[in-house]
């Protein structure tokens, strides 16, 4: 089978950073543009013995999905929980109504007690207004940290509730590993525009949270 060569300079396309070459809407030529599923970094916040990390801008109707990457979150206090809540653009009480689920896989460094896969009823909410737990039982030894993804869908909708789900990897205070999976929704049809992360006790000693819009 013969191979055809295409001269790049013959394409009617202007190269653009962070853009991809794709078919145009008529499927009869090429253009540069975003590819579905790509991420746009909107904001980065870094904790330094911080009481909270709060995102108060860039959450609007521009994107239908927002992704938060929590990287190397390290608590100032041992055996606490890292959690999140949302609010509207005009409020900052962070007490939206949540219904959620939470299950956890665990395995200790000693390969002994604590090896399990279980639903965690103490970590979920049923029409609760508390901060939703994300990383649980986290440790603050020098080498202990926590990472995870949180997805929030269509927060600007004024028709539907706002779904979320997340996956975390935790080094807990008992020198073991947790892989936790949460999902739920903010039970409101009011647009939400703020996200706050915090520890249930003590400050966020260190760590980074990055917010992306999903194209």
CATH of region 39-214: 2.60.120
Q: What is the pLDDT of residues 108-134, one digit of tens each?
A: 898 876 688 999 999 999 999 999 999
Integer angstrom CA distances of residue 84 from 139, 162, 194: 18, 14, 10
Q: What is the mean pLDDT of the chain?
A: 91
Look at residue 9 and give its three-state secondary structure. helix
Average pLDDT (149-168) is 98
170 confidence band (pLDDT: 50, 70, 90): very high
Three-point CA angle 151, 153, 156, nearest 5°? 135
Domain extent listing, the chain? 39-214
Model pLDDT, residue 94 = 98
Residue 51 structure tokens: 């009481």
């Amino acid at each position: 089978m013969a191979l055809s060569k295409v001269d790049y300079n013959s394409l009617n396309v202007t190269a653009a950073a962070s853009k991809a070459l794709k078919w145009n809407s008529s499927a009869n030529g090429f253009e540069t543009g975003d590819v579905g599923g790509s991420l746009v970094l909107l904001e980065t916040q870094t904790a330094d013995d911080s009481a909270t990390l709060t995102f108060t801008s860039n959450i609007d109707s521009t994107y239908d999905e927002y992704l938060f990457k929590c990287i190397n979150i390290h608590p100032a206090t041992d055996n606490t929980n890292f959690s999140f809540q949302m609010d509207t653009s005009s409020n900052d009480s962070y007490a939206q109504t949540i219904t959620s689920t939470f299950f956890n896989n665990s395995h200790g460094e000693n390969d002994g007690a604590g090896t399990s896969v279980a639903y965690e009823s103490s970590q979920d909410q049923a029409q609760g207004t508390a901060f939703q737990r994300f990383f649980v039982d986290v440790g603050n030894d020098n080498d202990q940290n926590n990472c995870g993804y949180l997805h929030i869908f269509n927060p600007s909708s004024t028709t539907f509730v706002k779904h979320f789900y997340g996956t975390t990897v935790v080094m807990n205070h008992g020198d073991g590993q947790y892989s936790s999976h949460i999902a739920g929704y903010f039970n409101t049809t009011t647009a939400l525009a703020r996200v706050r992360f915090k520890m249930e006790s003590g400050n966020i000693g260190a760590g980074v949270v990055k917010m992306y819009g999903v194209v």
